[in-house]
């Protein structure tokens, strides 16, 4: 699987997982996703499971630590970091996706509510939420 395909697949899987959480819980606490170099075996990491009382910052840090460990162990083709982002009265789901050759950060604004909640058109950012973690600059 080439770099562009890996990036697209990681984005798709991260977006769908985030949307499920958004509809179920009303927000998306930080979580991570990894794909192997073939774009297979998506693995998610939800730090809230192990740290039920952690703050958003602690959950983000735990997710970053997990992703860095996965990268160091090898066999990672793409990663994604997903979380709710808020600015004033606006909320959206931020997704940072990386392969070894590229990175992308998109923010999808929320629309609707409850089970009918959906994501609007993504806004691209020149900056990354963190990192880069996997991509080589």
pLDDT, tens digit (0-9, with 9 covering 90-100), for 37-84: 999 889 999 999 899 999 999 999 999 999 999 999 888 999 999 999
Tell me if 129 is assigned to some domain.
Answer: no
Is the model's pTM score more than 0.85? yes
Q: Which of the four pLDDT bands, split at 50, 70 and 90, describes residue 95?
A: very high
Residue 113 lies in a domain: yes
Q: What is the pLDDT of residues 102-136, one digit of tens each?
A: 999 999 998 777 777 888 899 988 788 887 888 76
Whether residue 131 is contained in a domain is answered as no
pLDDT at 35 over 70: yes
In a domain, residue 42? The reply is yes
Tell me how many domains the chain contains.
Answer: 1
d(CA 1, CA 9): 10
Q: Residue 89 falls within a domain, yes or no?
A: yes
User: β-pairing, 78-87 with 43-45?
Assistant: unpaired
Is the residue at 60 inside a domain? yes
Q: Is the pLDDT of residue 24 over 80?
A: yes
Q: What is the pLDDT of residues 63-75, one digit of tens each?
A: 999 999 999 988 8
The confidence score (pLDDT) of residue 137 equals 47
Position 26 scores a pLDDT of 84
Give the C-alpha separation, 125 to 107, whole Å: 8
Those residues whose C-beta lies under 8 Å from the C-beta of residue 36, and which sit 6 or more positions away, are 75, 76, 77
All residues at 6 or more sequence positions from 16 whose CB lies less than 8 Å from its CB, including other chains = none
Residue 132 lies in a domain: no
Q: How much is the pLDDT for 108?
A: 93
Residue 137 lies in a domain: no
* Two structure tokens written together for 86: 């808020």
Cβ atoms of residues 113 and 132 within 8 Å = no
């Amino acid at each position: 699987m080439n770099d562009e395909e890996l990036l697209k697949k990681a984005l798709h899987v991260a977006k769908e997982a985030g949307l499920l959480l958004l509809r179920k819980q009303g927000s998306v606490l930080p979580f991570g996703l990894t794909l192997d170099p073939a774009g297979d075996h998506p693995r998610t990491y939800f730090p809230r499971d192990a740290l039920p009382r952690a703050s958003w910052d602690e959950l983000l840090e735990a997710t970053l630590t997990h992703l860095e460990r996965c990268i160091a162990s090898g066999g990672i083709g793409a990663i994604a970091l997903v979380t709710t982002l808020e600015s004033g009265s606006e909320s959206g789901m931020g997704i940072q996706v990386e392969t070894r050759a590229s990175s992308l950060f998109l923010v999808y604004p929320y629309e609707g509510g409850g089970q009918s909640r959906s994501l609007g058109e993504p806004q691209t950012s020149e900056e990354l939420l963190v990192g880069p973690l996997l991509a080589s600059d």
